[in-house]
Structure 1
């Protein structure tokens, strides 16, 4: 039969697993000493890799050694305490261990029948979240984990398209979103067959929130021309400033024209775990679907996006295809949820395990403490910016993102950005608002402490 594959037996897996966990623990311990943003040039990493794949298996110790030699120098360290770019991608010990367990189980949870625990744990922890976030009753019992808010938004678009008549209605369908909405919104609409000339970009207020009056005007004009307004996509916590769209007002307009309202709260939604932040939920009772990402700010490793839908029938009917090989008694009886009908792919990893580990390890109060620290530090940074006449805020600080620019203009703002990022101590990203570059400081890292925010502000001041 020839050579046997070199599978790790349980004893070998245990020995090498200890080494891998030790390596990860050492990596976590030295994160503060690594340059946050990698300085490598294009091609540097590939130049260190073997030209051809190995013909015979190598020692596991050699593979681990190359993590330090090849991989780590080419990483931007998203878990570094000085990472303030984009939005955070929280990782934590419990979630990491859950990912390890999930990978080792290697289960495929496409249907209840293929692993009942995968489905029922997912249903249960999402109901926990719906309660603790104080989401409207209509979302409870109707949650699913997607890989990202992008996928969640695409699923919402497909459900809305189905409710509006499906593929046959496609030539008349029109969608509406804010000029501040995430790029995944336009991508999802394009994937669903909605061309750019039937995507209306709605104007915003001076605080960058979508204007309901402008939305209503655009819908009325489209109706006059025989078009079908089928979807409105609102944002709670925009990428540039964490602005909050008036969901209740938008929902009233959408409902009057039978349009689906989807709410993207990918980053900010986690904050509504805290009762004092429940204003973020205002108007959600009028939403047809809602998404937030525990993998951004809730200590749950990427990927884990919590998607809730009020009308599961539109979602399931849009995505359900059942060949003979997927038939089984439980599904036929209609007594179980088959999450394959809630997403685009067929296969599903056991992502709910991460949420379960995290919630049980930290508890709801521990998660609230994590969020409240970042909210407090963002408020402090906002005060520091206001007190320094070299800088100006461009928007209110709603959660833990502070958006500001150098009062000296575009060149000075970019100089601050480049200087901070080249320091290796911190990493920022910028956005453009009103045609001007704007610095974004997103506070939310698992290992970020107040002194890291202070150090960042010192770097910014020195660069000014």
Structure 2
């Protein structure tokens, strides 16, 4: 394709996108293709000569679209949302067209300075103090790994990057069973090792980490010759929405001189609503926090907001300065984003945040989230009317879990029954749900988060769950 024809196909793609989003309810939420079906339809080798864009676009609609699960679907109640608001999509087109490499201030001054301002806008929107700065990472997994690396270097006085971990005392990181699997992977990638992730028991309806048990684990590790390095607190755990008592955990972190990272990847965006901030009371005392703007807020992947009480802690961990990245005389003045990222290459992520916040406004985003929370509570109440449906964990924000639990079945039989229920629901394509395990028993997650969800979609979900469950008991 030449740029002369780009305009025509770009307009066609935008028109296609607008129509796609208008007609999403006509598609099954989860793809209905069989495994390997798409692969068989694709030629085994790349073409030697250019093909017509008409043919490529037609193949996209005929071959690719049926194999897509529609994450923007208003009845996508699985996982967490991966919203892409229209203004954010437009901004991404502009950023992709410019295709800037935004690693240094000098390689794109506007990208660097806009990112700084967007961090400030979001920091203020979620009620954190002005001392917090930060950076936009690709995903929460990268932000978490950066936090674990910072814990490592802080505990080892910066010697991990230079000497490695051989001969060093084994480091320990503390978290509950409710944290995301990216925490485990961060320990793999950092060299600390998954065996050194100490799981702290939880308590109460929020399934929050027990501060007393945390203190005891740290004391035992010190006595055994381990080196405690940091704590990861969950606000809105993936499985149930579990929220740690951040204020209490931060007191432990302070008294033990440990780095505290708060994983609020999903729930953190909801803190633009002041009434939800009790869920992360004490977050202002954390050393770092991650929240995904590419989830509930609507800035599509990749866009994780990594908030830092002291940017220098991360900068000291990640900065490397070969001559070809030198700023040559302005080192004390310039803030280079690559010094705060695992990636050297950086996309212009701040542009879509800027477009999104200006086009939507915080008030509209708050209204959307409040609706989602209210609707999740309504679904839980309406399906619980059926005596055979059990609410396993109550709604935390817009997430709850349930199971079909008729009397007289063994735990294993109940697990099998609920897997059958889940498969039957998802196979219809009307809604999409996912499973989890709670206290070693299977449960089904339900969360509301798609931008386009409306009351009729909530009614559909209730009808689908209740009718399918009734057919199994």
Do both share a fold (TM > 0.5)? yes
Between 412-421 and 89-98, the greater mean CA deviation after superposition: 412-421
The answer to whether residue 165 in structure 2 is matched with residue 173 in structure 1 is no
Deviations 1:291-345 (CA, angstroms, capped at 9, x unpaired):
000111001111110001112222111111111111124642x112111011111
**Which segments of 5 or more consecutive residues in structure 1 lack a partner in the other structure?**
1-6
What does 1:28-427 align with in structure 2 at a 5 Å threshold? 28-139=21-132, 142-165=133-156, 166=158, 167=160, 170-207=168-205, 208-329=207-328, 331-332=330-331, 334-408=332-406, 409-427=414-432
- CA distance in structure 2 between the aligned counterparts of 1:330 and 1:66, rounded to whole angstroms: 53
1:57 to partner: Cα distance: 1.1
Between 425-434 and 60-69, the greater mean CA deviation after superposition: 60-69
Aligned match of 2:409: none
Deviations 1:83-138 (CA, angstroms, capped at 9, x unpaired):
11111100111111111000001111101111100000000011001001101333
- CA distance in structure 1 between the aligned counterparts of 2:313 and 2:324, rounded to whole angstroms: 24
Deviations 1:38-77 (CA, angstroms, capped at 9, x unpaired):
1222221111112211111112121111111110111111
**Of the candidates 435, 443, 464, which is equivalent to residue 459 of structure 1?**
464
- What TM-score does the superposition give when structure 1 sets the normalisation length? 0.95
- CA distance in structure 2 between the aligned counterparts of 1:365 and 1:329, rounded to whole angstroms: 44
| Contact persistence 2:245–2:280 (CA under 8 A) | no
1:421 to partner: Cα distance: 0.1
- CA distance in structure 2 between the aligned counterparts of 1:285 and 1:125, rounded to whole angstroms: 18
1:242 to partner: Cα distance: 0.6
| Contact persistence 2:169–2:227 (CA under 8 A) | no
- CA distance in structure 1 between the aligned counterparts of 2:433 and 2:415, rounded to whole angstroms: 16
Deviations 1:179-198 (CA, angstroms, capped at 9, x unpaired):
11100001001110112222
- CA distance in structure 1 between the aligned counterparts of 2:277 and 2:247, rounded to whole angstroms: 14
What does 1:441-452 align with in structure 2 at a 5 Å threshold? 441-452=446-457
- CA distance in structure 1 between the aligned counterparts of 2:386 and 2:274, rounded to whole angstroms: 32
- What TM-score does the superposition give when structure 2 sets the normalisation length? 0.93
Deviations 1:116-163 (CA, angstroms, capped at 9, x unpaired):
000000000110010011013331xx1110111110000011111111
| Contact persistence 1:162–1:314 (CA under 8 A) | no
Between 41-50 and 296-305, the greater mean CA deviation after superposition: 41-50
| Contact persistence 2:31–2:66 (CA under 8 A) | yes
Deviations 1:376-404 (CA, angstroms, capped at 9, x unpaired):
10121122133322211122212001211
| Contact persistence 1:330–1:336 (CA under 8 A) | no
Deviations 1:333-387 (CA, angstroms, capped at 9, x unpaired):
x112111011111010001011001000001111111111101101211221333
Aligned match of 1:4: none
Aligned match of 1:3: none
| Contact persistence 2:74–2:453 (CA under 8 A) | yes
Aligned residues: 454
Deviations 1:256-288 (CA, angstroms, capped at 9, x unpaired):
111100000010111111121121330112211
| Contact persistence 1:401–1:443 (CA under 8 A) | yes
RMSD over aligned Cα atoms: 1.3
| Contact persistence 1:269–1:293 (CA under 8 A) | yes
- CA distance in structure 1 between the aligned counterparts of 2:432 and 2:468, rounded to whole angstroms: 14
Between 387-396 and 252-261, the greater mean CA deviation after superposition: 387-396
- CA distance in structure 2 between the aligned counterparts of 1:330 and 1:385, rounded to whole angstroms: 65
| Contact persistence 1:136–1:284 (CA under 8 A) | no
- CA distance in structure 2 between the aligned counterparts of 1:270 and 1:198, rounded to whole angstroms: 30
Aligned match of 2:411: none
- CA distance in structure 2 between the aligned counterparts of 1:331 and 1:262, rounded to whole angstroms: 31
- CA distance in structure 2 between the aligned counterparts of 1:433 and 1:402, rounded to whole angstroms: 12
Change (3 A) 1:331 1:85: farther
1:81 to partner: Cα distance: 1.2
